[in-house]
């Protein structure tokens, strides 16, 4: 029996699913007594450090937790739960931590994109039972803007490089905690959890550890999901966002099944986009929640869900906030939500009034679940102009002139799945979204979508220059070479594709094999 400390702040379903996939039973903590009688306690920390400490205090869980830790009973902390073991955090200066390990939590100070999102390696500093059957070359999934800094190296279990070397896990007696997410780290992460749960395993040190670790460029499989004309939820795919062929919605497979296939083929993340959610209310769309619940049972990489995340008032006048919609998705197994149309409307309002309200979906969700949980999905379309000052938008000089020889273009934001163009450019949109608290940009391109002609490198470079958060390049992948191109000619942290994977033209494994010796990736 494994006891799980769920304080209600995010996606703990994945942790439960990962532990259950190892044949264990999970019970969750409801009161102090549950911690007192725990045999092995797993504490997945999600979201904001200050919010976590406050909830633990309100629920009167700090004392029993300290008792458990001081008694040196088996404990596994994940992400913010690692940070909780230290004295304090820059994320919430007024809040004190549990103080089990001397030190503090600091925000990353690096020129690299923050949050640190993706698959990175570890350098093992001491033996541990969690490294049984571990080669040392594995990559694990990180997602955080803050990291711990300790005054004594005794407890340091691993370090990782991201701009500089930081502590990526600790071990003190029976207390183990990792900054990375084992429940999201595929087979390598499951192995770590399995080793922790079996307290009889020997302590070992992996054979080969890297001298320096490097963040891998991520390959993401995207599943555009909608109901077809028969009412079945299917994975579809458009050409420049048009998903109909001979009048029917293209059906390329079943969402849960395809997600599982892409996971086993080596996808680093899976993204679901509920592409018609702008006209329906997604909480009524139970099948989509079910897709997440089922997928998260056996897909142990990060899951993003987008579509319809916005405030909504139903026919009876009942109001649902975007935060409530997102919370339902997180509870169903999502790690990140993506906001499309609503982000455009929010930014238009901020630009009009000159101020942020603090109440937008981006701000509210980022406050509760952390910036890293909020992705902005951008659906831009090229608009050609004759001169850089022809419009009051961010205009770029393009190598691919327009139909009338225009040498300049800007990228117009659209809403409702490309159906409505707005007077806002993608560069401005992403810049303002970052200021509002978004943690990542999913950068589609309507002109390139489904064309197999390669990513729009000019668009990606323009956006990448404007923001410091990670950018996922999307739309147009037609070959493994296109992935190499996007990772070498832009600074995109990840590349997403749909059509070539669905049509099995180039499977994910083949893309990764091609990239293997050329750039840093997570090997299959």
* Catalytic center residues: 79, 181, 183, 224, 379
Asked if 282 contacts 309 with a C-beta cutoff of 8 angstroms, the reply is yes
CB of 285 to ligand 1PR, least distance (A): 11
Binds ligand 1PR (CB under 6 A): choice among 45, 77, 118, 308: 308
CB of 223 to ligand 1PR, least distance (A): 8
CB of 501 to ligand 1PR, least distance (A): 8
- CB-wise, 43 or 278, nearer to ligand 1PR? 278
Q: Residue 485: enclosing H or E segment and its boundaries?
A: helix 480-489
Taking CB under 6 A as the binding criterion, the range among 22-30, 31-39, 90-98, 235-243 that sits at the site for ligand 1PR is: 235-243
Please tell me whether residue 459 binds ligand 1PR under the rule CB under 6 A. Answer: no
Q: Which residue is nearest to ligand 1PR (CB)?
A: 417
- CB-wise, 56 or 362, nearer to ligand 1PR? 362
Please tell me whether residue 480 binds ligand 1PR under the rule CB under 6 A. Answer: no
Q: According to CB under 6 A, which residues from 361 to 390 bind ligand 1PR?
A: 377, 379
Q: Which positions from 323 to 342 touch ligand 1PR by CB under 6 A, shown as an x/- string?
A: ---------------xxxxx
Rounded distance between C-alpha atoms, residue 461 and residue 446, angstroms: 17
Going from the C-alpha of 203 to that of each of 72, 122, 133, 341, 386, the distances in angstroms are 17, 17, 11, 51, 67
CB of 264 to ligand 1PR, least distance (A): 20
The Cα diameter of the chain in Å comes to 75
CB of 437 to ligand 1PR, least distance (A): 16
Q: Please tell me the chain's helix, strand, coil percentages from 3-state DSSP, rounded to the nearest 5.
A: 30, 25, 40
CA 156, 160, 161, 163 torsion: positive or negative? negative
Of 88, 91, 120, 113, the C-alpha closest to 102 is 88
Binds ligand 1PR (CB under 6 A): choice among 44, 103, 450, 454: 450
CB of 443 to ligand 1PR, least distance (A): 10
Q: Report DSSP state, residue 312.
A: E
Rounded distance between C-alpha atoms, residue 251 and residue 229, angstroms: 10
Contacts of 343 by beta carbon, 8 Å cutoff, 6+ apart: 361, 362, 376, 377, 378, 429, 433, 438
How far does Cα 26 stand from its chain's mean position? Answer: 25
Q: According to CB under 6 A, which residues from 248 to 277 bind ligand 1PR?
A: 273, 275, 277
Rounded distance between C-alpha atoms, residue 513 and residue 515, angstroms: 5
Asked if 169 contacts 153 with a C-beta cutoff of 8 angstroms, the reply is no
Query: Two tokens at 68?
Result: 């458990």
Please tell me whether residue 238 binds ligand 1PR under the rule CB under 6 A. Answer: yes
Cis peptide before 115 (omega within 30 of 0): yes
Contacts of 153 by beta carbon, 8 Å cutoff, 6+ apart: 125
Number of chain positions touching ligand 1PR (CB under 6 A): 32
Please tell me whether residue 497 binds ligand 1PR under the rule CB under 6 A. Answer: yes
Of 236, 229, 218, the C-alpha closest to 523 is 218
Taking CB under 6 A as the binding criterion, the range among 132-140, 305-313, 485-493, 514-522 that sits at the site for ligand 1PR is: 305-313
Please tell me whether residue 241 binds ligand 1PR under the rule CB under 6 A. Answer: yes
Binds ligand 1PR (CB under 6 A): choice among 5, 41, 177, 222: 222
Binds ligand 1PR (CB under 6 A): choice among 2, 85, 469, 498: 498
Q: Which positions from 407 to 436 touch ligand 1PR by CB under 6 A, shown as an x/- string?
A: ----------x-------------------
**Residue numbers at the binding site for ligand 1PR (CB under 6 A):** 222, 224, 237-238, 241, 243, 273, 275, 277-278, 306-309, 338-342, 377, 379, 417, 444, 449-450, 474-477, 497-499
């Amino acid at each position: 029996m494994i006891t799980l400390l769920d304080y209600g702040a995010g996606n703990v379903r994945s942790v439960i699913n990962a532990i259950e996939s190892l044949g264990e039973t999970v019970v969750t903590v409801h009161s102090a007594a549950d911690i007192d009688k725990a045999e092995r306690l797993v504490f997945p920390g999600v979201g904001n450090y200050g919010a976590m400490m406050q909830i633990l205090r309100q629920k009167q869980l700090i004392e029993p937790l300290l008792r458990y830790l001081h008694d040196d009973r088996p404990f596994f902390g994940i992400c913010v739960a690692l940070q909780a073991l230290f004295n304090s955090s820059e994320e919430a200066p007024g809040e004190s931590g549990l103080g089990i390990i001397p030190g503090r939590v600091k925000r990353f100070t690096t020129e690299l994109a923050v949050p640190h999102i993706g698959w990175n390696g570890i350098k093992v500093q001491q033996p541990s039972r969690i490294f049984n059957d571990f080669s040392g070359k594995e990559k694990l999934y990180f997602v955080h803007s803050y990291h711990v800094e300790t005054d004594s190296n005794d407890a340091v279990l691993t370090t990782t490089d991201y701009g500089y070397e930081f502590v990526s896990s600790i071990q003190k007696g029976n207390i183990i905690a990792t900054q990375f997410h084992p429940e999201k780290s595929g087979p390598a992460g499951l192995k770590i959890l399995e080793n922790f749960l079996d307290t009889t395993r020997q302590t070992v040190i992996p054979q080969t550890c890297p001298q320096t670790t490097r963040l891998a460029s991520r390959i993401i499989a995207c599943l555009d999901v909608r109901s077809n004309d028969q009412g079945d939820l299917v994975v579809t795919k458009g050409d420049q966002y048009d998903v109909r062929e001979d009048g029917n919605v293209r059906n390329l497979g079943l969402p849960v099944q395809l997600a599982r296939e892409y996971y086993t083929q080596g996808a680093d993340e899976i993204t679901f986009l509920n592409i018609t959610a702008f006209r329906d209310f997604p909480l009524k769309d139970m099948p989509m929640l079910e897709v997440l619940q089922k997928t998260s049972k056996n897909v142990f990489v990060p899951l993003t869900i987008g579509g319809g995340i916005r405030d909504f008032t139903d026919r009876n006048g009942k109001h649902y906030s975007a935060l409530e919609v997102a919370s339902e998705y997180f509870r169903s197994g999502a790690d990140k939500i993506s906001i499309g149309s609503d982000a455009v409307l929010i930014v238009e309002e901020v630009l009009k009034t000159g101020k942020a309200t603090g109440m937008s979906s981006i701000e509210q969700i980022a406050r509760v679940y952390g910036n890293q949980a909020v992705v902005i999905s951008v659906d831009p379309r090229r608009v050609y102009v004759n001169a850089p000052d022809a419009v009051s938008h961010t205009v770029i000089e393009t190598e691919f002139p327009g139909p009338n020889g225009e040498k300049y273009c800007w990228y117009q934001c659209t809403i409702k799945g490309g159906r409505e163009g707005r007077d806002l450019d993608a560069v401005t949109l992403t810049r303002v979204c970052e200021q509002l608290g978004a943690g990542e940009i999913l950068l589609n391109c309507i002109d390139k979508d489904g064309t197999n002609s390669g990513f729009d490198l000019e668009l990606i470079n323009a956006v990448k220059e404007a923001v410091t958060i990670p950018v996922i390049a999307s739309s147009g992948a037609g070959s493994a070479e296109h992935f190499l191109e996007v990772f070498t000619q832009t600074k995109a942290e990840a590349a997403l594709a749909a059509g070539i994977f669905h049509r099995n033209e180039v499977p994910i494994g083949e893309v990764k094999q091609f990239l293997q010796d050329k750039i840093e990736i997570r090997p299959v």
